Structure 1
């Protein structure tokens, strides 16, 4: 069927995202490659010298702890300072920490130093991953947010989740110090690339160049951190669209962590796959997500945003159900690939919608609330997945969680309606439940 989009709309869809975005993308790609290396390497170092399940679990807990402790303050900081400098500094800290670790851990690898490194990397990640998405509305036209978010997501999946882990394994086989130094070099490259990022005139919502704040804006934010946190959380709670989409994100975080924690058992016990087969299952999910990061922006140009997000999230739940019901590895791989597509069909439109609905002075705080809702629920979801598997079975975890996700997506997002102005980048209809912030 021929496209109904006008030539002007098609030209806008192909428009270049601009040099500032390309610098941000390159920096994000380098830091995601660093994430892929370090997240794989640190558990390998713990297992090699401290082969205790509690020690490995502790490493993960320490690395994720900053998201629970610092997510909301990180959002305040991202709204008070130049976000580009915040991301640049965070990458520089990670580079320095890994370079120091390559020297300090060359011989002995005490657990306390590995935990300390994991915590420092977690703090820097919390700051960088809060500030970087908040930069995007200043760098690209809001009509192209889906496409920009799609490209950033693709870089994260390919470099952070697909290429990074096997590279880390190969480097660790050579020397741990080489692997640590490689991760540090990637973060250093990410910091250097950001030095060239200067927003083009007219590319930002706000007039300040480079993310700098005016004296008036800085004056408005003189106050306590708790006051700023309350302002950001209050804006989300008063805004019906943000409130309901964040509730759906929290539900998805629970479901994702509950199912992912059991995926290795599903692969081994139910599907009878080897370690290599489990790796292929993960690769199928990653390939689906890469495809979804390409498809979602194009679907967003033709479908209303809320409708696309709602049905993608519901379809992701159906894919989990099919994964739990599958007994053939090929069908399981197809279900995981489909889930990857639908996951991007949810993440990219909703991320772009939040960026559009949030005033510039609240971008960091709304992003921090979003991260806290989505990632803060993951430890709880992993615990629930284990309890559910013990009470029922491993496949039942996927079936039950998928059904809950589908029902939750349809119920939570049912009150939201897109604007009748047309498909694609339409905003939700004005709602009496959406009360603007005093500073908007």
Structure 2
């Protein structure tokens, strides 16, 4: 629900010391992600330049999301989430620092794959537990602002700054790049030590204030915990429909992004530098979106804001497919970056706000699994459509489907997104908490 509009002289309250510790740790972790995401393919190409070897690295790195995303959600709802993130960063730091000695000489492909797989497992745990921590650290009305700042750190450090730095470091020595990534993850773990268990803000919605499951819940079978989480998501109309829209967005994003390099080279006639500038335009738009989306969320209901941003993102993809000059393409990508954050930040905040404390990890894991799981399918569809029709047509069709889907899927939701139908199939105490949310 949109909060009241502040007067021009009203100063926003801070997000608090616990959030600052979380932000600092997340920033260091995102920088480590950016270094390793660029480093691993370079290590593989340097010793195994075959296309199949490079493709295999991506598959191995993404495999943990398919294997462990749902169990990671159960773990995040049964164990201290701060410890999950802390220990996962310690693991990533230790693995990369240990690889400095192992990969100083020969770089066996199985060892590189094992490194990518272990890092993928840790990433699955961190990316599930860290967002689930946020509702216990900041007030419910500040979730958009907090998610915006975390997203900005991810984009600036993980996607814009760290990958080029990793390329420069590899040019010096691969071991230097490995040590840098390991040090950043270790720093993320150290910074998280400063995040003590913070009490839930007193003005949080009642449903989110539910304590984590006790010892009895921790002894329940993992499969039962997964089933309860999936049932809860599917039974809550807002969660179910926004999840369907996220899955559609994953399909459209991967179908277009996989073809962007061909659009850049073939249709627009750009070289490597021009392609990099196109990517930079999208990142600049996303950073702007992390600033704009929380401010719009203060004045507009969450669902209409997310719906129209998703619709506009689809139109931006259509515009990208119709672009015939680099300036037009860059403008479309910049706008898409803004609209992408206008969708992601309100929807993530809405899910956090509507989900009881004991289900935060599982709701996050289900949404990540659907969004990330749709991406390989979307990439394959993009390739098939480009071969059968043309590369620009992929962008026009994907954008049109996304725009239509945004309107159709989210049309039944109210402005604040609250509301679960009776007979949800979730445990009775969770249904009561959701009912309180619906009335709040």
- Relative to the length of structure 1, the TM-score reads 0.93
* Residue number in structure 1 paired with 2:301: 304
Pairwise mapping of residues 329-344 of structure 1 onto structure 2 (< 5 A)?
329-344=326-341
- CA-CA distance at 1:14 after TM superposition: 1.2
Among 85, 95, 98, which residue is 2:96 paired with?
Answer: 98
User: Structure 2 vs 1, CA of residues 298 and 434 (structure 1 numbering), >3 Å: closer, same or farther?
Assistant: farther
> Unpaired runs of 5+ in structure 2?
431-440
CA RMSD of aligned residues (A): 2.1
State how far apart, in whole Å, the 1-side matches of 2:119 and 2:130 are.
16
Contact 1:248 1:412 in 2 (8 A): yes
Contact 1:82 1:213 in 2 (8 A): no
Q: Tell me whether 1:122 sits opposite 2:112 in the alignment.
A: no
State how far apart, in whole Å, the 1-side matches of 2:62 and 2:200 are.
37
Deviation readout 1:391-420 (Å, 9 max, x if unpaired) = 1011111000000000011101011112xx
State how far apart, in whole Å, the 1-side matches of 2:419 and 2:172 are.
57
* Residue number in structure 1 paired with 2:5: 5
* Residue number in structure 2 paired with 1:64: 62
Contact 1:138 1:206 in 2 (8 A): no
State how far apart, in whole Å, the 1-side matches of 2:414 and 2:235 are.
17
- CA-CA distance at 1:265 after TM superposition: 0.6
State how far apart, in whole Å, the 1-side matches of 2:73 and 2:9 are.
36
* Residue number in structure 1 paired with 2:285: 288
* Residue number in structure 2 paired with 1:353: 350
State how far apart, in whole Å, the 2-side matches of 1:202 and 1:430 are.
24
SS in structure 2 of the partner of residue 439 of structure 1:
helix
Among 418, 422, 429, which residue is 1:439 paired with?
Answer: 429
State how far apart, in whole Å, the 2-side matches of 1:144 and 1:256 are.
28
State how far apart, in whole Å, the 2-side matches of 1:122 and 1:234 are.
26
Contact 1:81 1:213 in 2 (8 A): no
Among 229, 233, 238, which residue is 1:236 paired with?
Answer: 233
- CA-CA distance at 1:237 after TM superposition: 0.6
Deviation readout 1:120-168 (Å, 9 max, x if unpaired) = 0000000000000000000000000000000000000000000011000
- Count matched residues: 425
- CA-CA distance at 1:102 after TM superposition: 1.1
Pairwise mapping of residues 33-432 of structure 1 onto structure 2 (< 5 A)?
33-203=31-201, 217-418=214-415, 426-428=416-418, 431=421
User: Structure 2 vs 1, CA of residues 259 and 433 (structure 1 numbering), >3 Å: closer, same or farther?
Assistant: farther
Contact 2:65 2:120 in 1 (8 A): yes
Contact 2:205 2:353 in 1 (8 A): no
Deviation readout 1:10-68 (Å, 9 max, x if unpaired) = 84x71100000000000000000000000001001111110111100000000000000
State how far apart, in whole Å, the 2-side matches of 1:212 and 1:109 are.
49
State how far apart, in whole Å, the 1-side matches of 2:422 and 2:373 are.
30
Contact 1:82 1:212 in 2 (8 A): no
> Unpaired runs of 5+ in structure 1?
419-425
SS in structure 2 of the partner of residue 377 of structure 1:
helix
* Residue number in structure 2 paired with 1:422: none
- CA-CA distance at 1:198 after TM superposition: 1.6
State how far apart, in whole Å, the 2-side matches of 1:133 and 1:96 are.
23
Deviation readout 1:202-222 (Å, 9 max, x if unpaired) = 437699xxx9977x7232342
* Residue number in structure 1 paired with 2:438: none
User: Structure 2 vs 1, CA of residues 145 and 221 (structure 1 numbering), >3 Å: closer, same or farther?
Assistant: same
State how far apart, in whole Å, the 2-side matches of 1:183 and 1:74 are.
23
Deviation readout 1:260-285 (Å, 9 max, x if unpaired) = 11001110001111101100000000
